[in-house]
Structure 1
Amino acid sequence: MQAADWYAAHGKMPRLYVPATFEPGGNVTLPDGPARHLTRVLRLGPGAPLVVFDGNGREAGVRLADVTRKQATVVVEAVWPGAGESPLAVHLGQAISKGERMDYAIQKAVELGVAAITPLYTRRGDVRLKGEREAKKLAHWQAVAASACEQCGRATLPPVHPPQTLEAWLNARDEPLRLMLHPATHSGLDAADAPAAAALLIGPEGGLAPDDVAAAEAAAFTPLTLGPRILRTETAPVAALTLLQYRFGDL
């Protein structure tokens, strides 16, 4: 059975991220979060069908088999390769913003097919995370990315890397197309051939500082302008990723 057959047979159903190995006929114990959602929020019981994905490109049609107060187990009935991945692998370097703005940027980037996200510390950024606070925030961002995958149908979970300085991120870039959101008189999308990978740099509120721009240009980043209006830091990746996916990807 393939994905289309499973959905045709069962209609709309929950779709959850479960980092496990799926084998037809095998049992999988759900993590606490998905288990609570299914049993306490959706109030599903044994026999209910759903779809799970492992974050590495595989999906499975499963049924709830055993539900207790402490855990929920599913039996795997069918496994298939996931879909929804763009031919263009974009690594987003996103300056860290406060609260829900960063969540929004990550959520929409995942929906638009981003391959990886690195939160960045920039000169004008006003968020600095350390120790346990950074670890908690990173876990939260990873959960935001997983939830976005559940919603948009992706079976591959793009990693949200630990925050790092802009300098460190720039030094690690080797993508053939490298773009930064910054005013310019030409288009950064003029490449004749579609690249396999791209890096996209989004600055904080107030934009990239001159030193940041100079460092990005030294790392072979080309300015990309998105018109005469100034976009918020959480809106900019949505617009830029849409253009990249339309120009070189699958939109």
Structure 2
Amino acid sequence: MPRFHCPVALQAGQHLSLPANAARHVQVLRMQPGQSITLFNGEGGEWDATITRIGRSEVEALIGAHHATDREPMRAVHLAVGMPANDRMDWLVEKATELGVASVQPLHTAHGVLRLSGERAAKKQAHWQSVAVAACEQCGGNRVPWIHPVRDLAEWLPAPGSEQDRLAGRVRCVLSLAPGAGTLSGALSVEAPATSVTFLSGPEGGLNASEDALARSNGFLPVSLGQRVLRAETASLVALVMALS
């Protein structure tokens, strides 16, 4: 059954005009009044709905039963990535959403080719957010990952993890090519199973030595994904899959 993101309050018995993106999608699919669809608003679960009217630019639906369906991973995994160039960031956001990422933080780093600011950065963020929405509609996810505004790495780096963070199972890792980097499995098994993981990774060319050292000084554990050097977008997704396994 077709699924549509509808980021408004939903309740059974409600007559609703679908948001513009969802309405346009219904029309592209050439759906007709009386057909059933599924709606989700990102706050958990999904609703049955029936199309009641299709106009030139609007679509109305009757909201049916709510189902508390949860297809989210048990562990929240966040990606902070030095933005890869061209359409690779789109691909990363799409695939990370399908796999169950909780959020994505695009970053400016020293080796990054893509530089965004002002209106262009805001448009890119909105575009990536729409990519995440479309991926959720396709894969069955009911919580859309948040794509954060673009930031500089040094500005974004959070403060060093506290003892409370560690006891709560929150782990932060930097994907590192430097000698001595540990294994991901080792980082995730420190003291107690991690319930929340943040991965920091670089763009093409990776993080430079200063950025790697800065991440470590801010509480990030250096981890390696193996002996092969992976593409920027591949490395983030491999770490995501390993953390969710």
TM-score, normalised by the number of residues in structure 2 = 0.90
C-alpha contact 1:188 1:222 (8 A) present in aligned 2? no
Q: Which residue of 1 aligns with 2:216?
A: 217
1:44 aligns to 2:38 (yes or no)? no
Let me know the Cα RMSD of the aligned residues: 1.5
1:1-251 alignment to 2 at 5 Å? 13-39=1-27, 41-171=28-158, 174=161, 176-183=170-177, 184-185=179-180, 186-190=182-186, 191-192=189-190, 193-246=192-245
C-alpha contact 2:159 2:218 (8 A) present in aligned 1? no
C-alpha contact 2:160 2:219 (8 A) present in aligned 1? no
- Give the deviation of 1:165 after TM superposition: 1.2
The AA in structure 2 aligned to 1:141 is W
User: Residues of 2 paired with 1:238 and 1:140: CA distance?
Assistant: 20
- Give the deviation of 1:148 after TM superposition: 1.2
C-alpha contact 2:175 2:201 (8 A) present in aligned 1? yes
User: Residues of 1 paired with 2:185 and 2:211: CA distance?
Assistant: 21
**Cα–Cα, structure 1 residues 52 and 161, in superposed 2: closer, same or farther, change >3 Å?**
same
The AA in structure 1 aligned to 2:176 is H
Deviates more, 1:219-228 or 1:67-76: 219-228
Deviates more, 1:135-144 or 1:81-90: 81-90
What secondary structure sits across from 2:143 in the alignment?
coil
**Cα–Cα, structure 1 residues 172 and 101, in superposed 2: closer, same or farther, change >3 Å?**
farther
Superposed CA deviations along residues 214-233 of structure 1, whole A, max 9, x for unmatched, are 10100111122112211111
What percent of counterpart residues are identical? 39
Corresponding residue pairs, total? 233
The AA in structure 2 aligned to 1:124 is H
C-alpha contact 1:173 1:199 (8 A) present in aligned 2? no
**Cα–Cα, structure 1 residues 172 and 75, in superposed 2: closer, same or farther, change >3 Å?**
farther
C-alpha contact 2:42 2:144 (8 A) present in aligned 1? yes
C-alpha contact 1:189 1:224 (8 A) present in aligned 2? no
- Give the deviation of 1:144 after TM superposition: 0.6
User: Residues of 2 paired with 1:74 and 1:172: CA distance?
Assistant: 47
Runs in 1 of length 4+ with deviation above 3 angstroms? 172-175
Structure 1: gaps (5+ residues): 1-12, 247-251
- Give the deviation of 1:171 after TM superposition: 2.2
- Give the deviation of 1:82 after TM superposition: 3.2
C-alpha contact 2:184 2:225 (8 A) present in aligned 1? no
User: Residues of 1 paired with 2:16 and 2:86: CA distance?
Assistant: 34
C-alpha contact 1:118 1:161 (8 A) present in aligned 2? yes
The AA in structure 1 aligned to 2:197 is A
- Give the deviation of 1:172 after TM superposition: 5.3
User: Residues of 1 paired with 2:158 and 2:171: CA distance?
Assistant: 15
TM-score, normalised by the number of residues in structure 1 = 0.88
User: Residues of 1 paired with 2:155 and 2:34: CA distance?
Assistant: 50
What secondary structure sits across from 1:171 in the alignment?
coil
- Give the deviation of 1:58 after TM superposition: 2.9
